[in-house]
Chain A
Amino acid sequence: MYSTNQVSKFSAFKAFVGNKTDNLLAPTLTNMDSFGAYLEPIIQVFKPSWRHGVISAAVVATRKENQKVITLSLRPDAKWQTFEAGQFIQITVEKNGSLMTRTFSISSAPSHFEESKLIELSIRVLDDGLVTPWIAENLSAGDTVYLSQASGDFKLTSSRKPKLFIAGGSGITPIRSMLNENPGANWFKDSTLIFYVNNAEEMLFANEIENYEADGLNCHVVYSDEQGFISETHIREKCPGFENFESYVCGPPKMIEAALSILNEHVQNTADIHHEYFGTAPLSKADMDTDFDDEFIQVDYLTSNKQVQFNADGLPQTLLDIAEQEGLTPVSGCRIGVCHQCICKKKQGRVFNTKTKQYSDTGAEEIQLCLSVPVGHVELEL
């Protein structure tokens, strides 16, 4: 992690005083949480991208990896600490006046950050996405974006076991970070990478994969258009003895599910299986171990005075999606339960939390709309 000796006594003192005055005086004098937030719109007159209390990053360069994937090279400001290979961050961009947040794995290695103070995000541009096509078209060197600190548990463990990396498409990004970081590690030569891409056009980081191979990693690129979807045969063929490997899986949800079911069946110690979904795990009724409370689900939006009813037989949907389909515009951010912007008061009704896999009780509480699936009649203060 970051070295604490850089934090001087003075800045510690400044932070202490800053926090005290912000906590005690700012709400009384300004109705805001902090003086920084109060002054923000004035400072923005001179420096439009300035925002209080957030981490800014300058876009240093953008490049195309293939037809569908772009890489942003970013220089985060001093507030950004550092990260471990495999972790993700949220990036916020201002698109037509609206701050929009998405989550991506960092595709460059921590050592790259130490040397250059730069990090890279490799982003798959979704045809019907709200944010990624905008990023691809509009962001260029010199622009400012905002970042969160890095988080996530998809990290290399200290285990010395050989590793099996299974990546699908842009799911290679956190694995690229790990492999770029550790070419000399003791496990590197015994380990295997199986990289699924649809076809040669969608290949990513080909040169780097050649370098891994030169450094001793067993690399297998599989074109699924020709060789088909992930299967046990593939894994056995490319990585004999995978039962005793520590495995890291990242890619599209379906690929992850298929890989996990194979690995869980054969790998001795399931603690050796690590995976990272892009976004939330897909919703399916199988996740929800009880039936819906009613045949028809009803959601009441009390503040907007709207109601919606739908058949519980359809695919489960989050309250955020349902609200947006109704033309409501609740505040939202990452849509995967990280940023807590879409928190809303549920007055009553049961919801299923797709992250914790827990059912709520029926009483009033604050819930994250992007994670909550209604299982009965729900009333929201929205």
Chain B
Amino acid sequence: MKKPNIETLEKFGAALEDVRAESMAKVGESDARHIRRMIAIQRSSEIAARILMVMGFVSPLLWVLAVLLLGLAKILDNMEIGHNVMHGQYDWMNDPNINSRKFEWDILGDAGSWKRYHNHEHHTYTNVLGKDRDFGYGTFRLSDDLEWRPKNRFQIFHYLGLSTFFEIGIAYHEVAAERIFKGKKRKESALPISRKQLKADFFNKAKRQLMKDYVIFPLLCWPVALQVLAGNAIANIIRNLWTSTIIFCGHFTEDVHTFTEEEIKGETQGQWYYRQILGSSNLEGGKLFHILTGHLSCQVEHHLFPDVPARHYPEMAEKVQKICKEYGVPYNTGTFFKQYKTVVQRVWKYSFPTEAEARVLA
């Protein structure tokens, strides 16, 4: 595929800006109602789950239901609510609680830390090797641009582990990159807060989150403490598996492109849009599926328009796809199973050295 020239990409970008303007004109009361309703559902599920969790002695089925409800609450909180609110999609509401500055989510990682590396680094340098630490999270080899190392041989197991404990990865991401606990301090760091503050925020949030699910709620339900503790742990793992799976589908599917720092120097707005589309992939599904993924099923649109309230993405996706077709820009979309299969294949494929590397090794 040949990269369109700058002029074409400027027109392409302008067409996308129109899509954005059309949707922004519609943003208002119905979006406020949507996010408030989502929060109401999430919190009702959580409260119901915390109560049912104790009722496990009546019937184990109630316990199972409780675990599923708590998992659902956490998924809604992290995806459709937290992720989108922290992108500033609802800042225009001026709501003291529903805004990117204030929102804190039901997950191990500190919201402030996530906003720094996700909103700025990942969304600006999407899939730029060496700049976007979300590409492979510094541990996976997902493209031939990275040299094969013996540890990559086992990366499929590593992947399964990360998926199961994904929230730890999210919490630890910035702390690891800044080498707060181990390793040599980064020479160049754009960390806007002190290292001490980063460490304090990391521990505060982690402590609070662990206390809640593994100390306070079990103690509150003392005779069935173990049952509650186990239920909370499983709900967290359900959430971890779901979020990591959806997120891997957004950037690590087969046809997703990567970029070098050299390529993005002096990038124009049109070129930026182009890169965002090549670096992301969509999942097809119904309304409920989109909500459960926090509309990250429309990863392409999310990367083009990160601050447009996400419920508009499916409608925007149709227009974006049409524009891409017109300009001959590849648009990566498919069903969940089709896309996920290629993610696993990608993790598997790059766990082996390239032929050239293999020859050297041999």
Interface residues of A (CB under 8 A from B): 25, 27-29, 31-32, 37-42, 44-45, 94, 96-101, 302-303, 305, 329-333, 341, 347, 381
The residue from B33, B92, B104, B212 contacting A29, defined by CB atoms under 8 A apart:
B212
Q: Any chain A CB within 8 A of the CB of B93?
A: yes
The residue from B33, B101, B119 contacting A97, defined by CB atoms under 8 A apart:
B33
A-B contact list, 5 entries, CB within 8 Å: A32-B97, A97-B28, A98-B93, A302-B192, A329-B88
Tell whether, in the assembled complex, residue A331 and residue B216 are in contact, meaning their CB atoms are under 8 Å apart.
Answer: no
Tell whether, in the assembled complex, residue B43 and residue A38 are in contact, meaning their CB atoms are under 8 Å apart.
Answer: yes
Nearest chain A CB to B104 CB, angstrom units: 4
Tell whether, in the assembled complex, residue A41 and residue B40 are in contact, meaning their CB atoms are under 8 Å apart.
Answer: yes
Residues of B within 8 A of A305 (CB): 120, 124
Tell whether, in the assembled complex, residue A29 and residue B216 are in contact, meaning their CB atoms are under 8 Å apart.
Answer: yes
Residues of A within 8 A of B104 (CB): 31-32
Taking A28-B211, A42-B44 as known contacts, 9 extra A-B pairs with beta carbons closer than 8 A to each other, sorted by chain A number, are: A32-B97, A38-B43, A96-B28, A98-B92, A303-B119, A303-B120, A331-B94, A341-B94, A347-B192
Q: Any chain A CB within 8 A of the CB of B36?
A: yes
CB < 8 Å A-B pair total? 73
- Using a CB-CB cutoff of 8 Å, which residues 90-127 of chain B contact chain A? 91-97, 99, 101, 104-106, 119-120, 124
Closest to B44 in A: A42
Interface residues of B (CB under 8 A from A): 27-33, 36-37, 39-40, 43-44, 88, 91-97, 99, 101, 104-106, 119-120, 124, 192, 208, 211-212, 216-217
In the complex, what distance in Å separates the CA atom of A381 from the CA atom of B112? 12
The residue from B31, B33, B93 contacting A99, defined by CB atoms under 8 A apart:
B93
In the complex, what distance in Å separates the CA atom of A67 from the CA atom of B32? 33
Given A31-B106, A331-B94: A44 and B40 within 8 A (CB)?
Answer: yes
Tell whether, in the assembled complex, residue B39 and residue A41 are in contact, meaning their CB atoms are under 8 Å apart.
Answer: yes
In the complex, what distance in Å separates the CA atom of A347 from the CA atom of B36? 33
Tell whether, in the assembled complex, residue B93 and residue A97 are in contact, meaning their CB atoms are under 8 Å apart.
Answer: yes
Closest to B31 in A: A97
Tell whether, in the assembled complex, residue A329 and residue B91 are in contact, meaning their CB atoms are under 8 Å apart.
Answer: yes
Residues of A within 8 A of B44 (CB): 42
Nearest chain A CB to B198 CB, angstrom units: 15
Residues of A within 8 A of B212 (CB): 28-29
Nearest chain B CB to A30 CB, angstrom units: 8
Residues of A within 8 A of B92 (CB): 97-98, 329
Given A45-B40, A97-B29, A97-B32: A28 and B94 within 8 A (CB)?
Answer: no
Tell whether, in the assembled complex, residue B94 and residue A31 are in contact, meaning their CB atoms are under 8 Å apart.
Answer: no
Nearest chain A CB to B7 CB, angstrom units: 24
